[in-house]
Amino acid sequence: MQKTCKNCNKEFEIVKEELGFYGKINVPIPKLCPDCRLQQRMMFRNERTLYKRKSDALDSKGEIFSIFSPDSDQKVYDHKTWWGDSWDALSYGQEIDFSKPFFEQLKTLWRKVPDIALMNINPVNSDYCSITEGNKNCYLVVGGDFNENVMYSSFTFNTKDSIDLHWVSKSDLSYESVDCISCSRLLYSRQCEACLDSVLLFNCKNCSNCFGCVNLRNASYCFFNEQLDKESYADTMKKIDLSSFSQIEKYKKQFEEFILEYPHKFANVIKSINSTGNNLDGTKNCKNCFDVSNGVKDCGNIWLSYSAVCDCYDCDHFGRNSQDCYQTSTVYPGNKVLFSRFIFESHDISYSYNCHNSSNLFGCVGLRNKSFCIFNKQYEKEEYLKLIPDLKKHMDELPYKDAAGRIYEYGDYFPADLSPFGYNETVAQELFPLTKKEAEAKGYLWREKIVKDYISDVKAKDLPDSLNETDDSITKKVISCQHEGNCNHQCTKAYKITETELDFYKKLHIPLPRLCYNCRYCERIAKRNPIKLWSRKCQCIGPASSNDIYKNTRTHEHNGSACLNEFETPYSPNRKEIVYCEKCYNQEIY
């Protein structure tokens, strides 16, 4: 079935499996394409924009860290108070008013019920972290758990003594790396596994003492894919000053060009059956899914899921055996959770937020251990079950209309104006970037940055080129970011180097960063492939790649003719990478 997205006007397809799923959970066919559905959900997810503000709890003293701006109209409690017994979310319960649109009533409730200032579970000296658990001595870690001595990193797990990482796990002494696992002393690298004492690697496994290498397996002492002996490699590395910013930048540029000379696998798909997407491991019958692993099956349009999830569509950041979920975000676990977010250990939940260990809720906020509630009001089971069909019908007969004229009925996700965050504070801005003018034209909230009049002591471009020329006094100075706010990265314009940070750079003999935390983060995530697929053909034409840049090292099964394999890939057709199907890629790598 072909549909036209009501938001972006692009055509999208709904396949037979999806239609069966919508019928199974009894929801309307979506009006929006998968990208616009994801954008809607991400407008409610603020991960990295943190503020200092006061808690709205009566006995609160001093300031707390929060994802909610001080000028937000959302009521906020500190983590301990929210989970405590000093308040009851049922006390905010309100009657259904069938003369008003459902979402209008939900927004009123949402703003009254206290939210959690910052999700940071069991931190040890790691107060300035968000959506995390079990971190020790960490600073500005987002979405990462059980790390120690890690700074400025996101989605980093079980990692120690590292800085500026994104999607890295079980590693240590690593810097400025993305999508790596089980690595040590790895710098400026991507998509690596079990590599150590190496710099500038791409898609390498079980490698050590390598520099500027691509697609290597079980290798040592290689320099830009040239095999050297131990002594020659040591002599070569002596000529490279890793502490020099200018030298590192020169080699980074050379390395990015070098990467384009080698084939890329169409997608990172491992042990997966009848599945499309990227970063899939152990999936079955999953379509358009990304960062999904450990037994997920029969799902579509999923981003970031794990652990035996099944029969779910349009969900993100969820796992632990969830099933029959649709248009949800952050569910651990859930059964038949629809149009909701931040739901833990619950089932039969619709249009609800931040509810835990509950069941049979509709339009509820902040409830724990409750059942059969609407707008946080308790009902008897029979009355609840009778009201739900009436409420769904009411949502269609008196739909919500936002300031931009968009109509929201049953089957639509939360309207954007229910989000307490500015568009530019959320993950939506990272995945679907808009200017302030564009966002406001669509009726999205845009929160202006809190202007801080930093007086810089030194400009980034004037920092000493070599770390060896830097002394401890740098930790006392304010450094102006090299972008100076002239970017779309939420640039802070200035930053400082902490003593812990400086010790790390000295330990690994690497230069000081020239960008603020936000700009470094945005440059890292830009190195990841997008959450989007394109249909393409394999670029192997027999003896070489179709652009004649890469010469095959082996004879492939298609015997000198062009490979006929087609696939869906996160590499768009206008990109420069050479993209091979799995068979052609593996014949070159292994």
pLDDT digits (tens, 9 = 90+) for 133-147: 999 999 999 999 999
Of the candidates 44, 21, 93, 579, which has an alpha carbon nearest to the alpha carbon of residue 317? 44
Write down the mean pLDDT value for the chain: 96
What confidence tens digit (pLDDT) does each residue in 31-71 have? 999 999 999 999 999 999 999 999 999 888 889 999 999 99
What confidence tens digit (pLDDT) does each residue in 390-413 have? 999 999 999 999 999 999 999 999
3-state secondary structure 372-392: EEECCEECCHHHHHHHHHHHH
- In this prediction, residue 557 carries a pLDDT of 87
Distance between CA atoms of residues 374 and 364, nearest Å: 6
**pLDDT (mean) for 545-562:** 92
What confidence tens digit (pLDDT) does each residue in 173-230 have? 999 999 999 999 999 999 999 999 999 999 999 999 999 999 999 999 999 999 999 9
Of the candidates 165, 248, 247, which has an alpha carbon nearest to the alpha carbon of residue 520? 165
Distance between CA atoms of residues 316 and 442, nearest Å: 24
What confidence tens digit (pLDDT) does each residue in 92-134 have? 999 999 999 999 999 999 999 999 999 999 999 999 999 999 9
What confidence tens digit (pLDDT) does each residue in 147-175 have? 999 999 999 999 999 999 999 999 999 99
**pLDDT (mean) for 79-91:** 94
- In this prediction, residue 489 carries a pLDDT of 87
User: In the structure, what pLDDT confidence band is assigned to residue 488 with cuts at 50, 70 and 90?
Assistant: confident
Contact present, 310 and 46 (Cβ < 8 Å): no
Contact present, 533 and 570 (Cβ < 8 Å): yes
pTM listed for this prediction = 0.94
Of the candidates 390, 419, 415, which has an alpha carbon nearest to the alpha carbon of residue 404? 415
- In this prediction, residue 567 carries a pLDDT of 98
Distance between CA atoms of residues 512 and 164, nearest Å: 12
**pLDDT (mean) for 450-455:** 74
3-state secondary structure 405-427: CCEECCCCCCCHHHCCCCHHHCH
Is the model's pLDDT at 451 over the cut of 70? no
Phi, psi of 221 (to 5 degrees): 60, 50
SS3 217: strand
Distance between CA atoms of residues 471 and 268, nearest Å: 43
Please give the share of the chain, as a percent, with pLDDT higher than 90: 94
Domain regions of the chain by residue span: 1-31, 175-265, 270-321, 458-525, 533-590
Q: Which residues contact 106 (CB under 8 A, 6 or more apart)?
A: 351, 363, 365, 375, 414, 418
Distance between CA atoms of residues 510 and 425, nearest Å: 31
